[in-house]
């Protein structure tokens, strides 16, 4: 089954404790991205990747890191989480840039930083 898989689905952590949210897709898509969704603000792009070892900042990259060592995986790293990073996070992939084609989303990761 074609899918985008995120883990964990739910996470409660403390300020400053490094964490990684994993994202994996099995559709051989070149393009992957991370979004955060907050009430009233919609989805905002954090980082995106056009292919292996090629990443770039989205609209809200501060406090986040990403890597793309393999085509299928695109982890999101929070080196020192803060309460303002409490949010619902989505990973997405698409065969081309998401400005042109359908994006396939993971099921989301609800992160709470206390």
Partner 1 sequence: RKEVEQDPGPFNVPEGATVAFNCTYSNSASQSFFWYRQDCRKEPKLLMSVYSSGNEDGRFTAQLNRASQYISLLIRDSKLSDSATYLCVVGTGGFKTIFGAGTRLFVKA
- Residue 62 makes CB contacts below 8 A (sequence gap 6+) with none
- Would you call 85 helix, strand, or coil by DSSP? helix
Following DSSP, what letter does each residue of 15-61 receive, concatenated? Answer: TT--EEEEEEESS--SEEEEEEEETTTEEEEEEEEEETTEEEE-S--
Using rule CB under 8 A, residue 89 touches partner 1: no
- Could you tell me which stretch among 11-19, 68-76, 78-86, 95-103 binds partner 1 (CB under 8 A)? 95-103
Least Å from the CB of residue 16 to partner 1: 28
Using CB under 8 A, pick the residue from 5, 13, 22, 45 that binds partner 1. 45
Q: Which residues bind partner 1 (CB under 8 A)?
A: 31, 35, 40-45, 48, 50, 56, 90, 97-100, 102-103, 105-108
């Amino acid at each position: 089954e074609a899918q985008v898989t995120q883990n964990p689905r739910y996470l409660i952590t403390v300020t400053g404790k490094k964490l990684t949210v994993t994202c994996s897709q099995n559709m051989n898509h070149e393009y992957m991205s991370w979004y955060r969704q907050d009430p009233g603000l919609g989805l905002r792009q954090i980082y995106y990747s056009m292919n292996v070892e090629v990443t770039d900042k989205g609209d809200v990259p501060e406090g986040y890191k990403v890597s793309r060592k393999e085509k299928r995986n695109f982890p999101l790293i929070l080196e020192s989480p803060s309460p303002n990073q409490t949010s619902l996070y989505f990973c997405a992939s698409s065969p081309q840039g998401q400005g042109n084609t359908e994006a396939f989303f993971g099921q989301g990761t609800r992160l709470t930083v206390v």
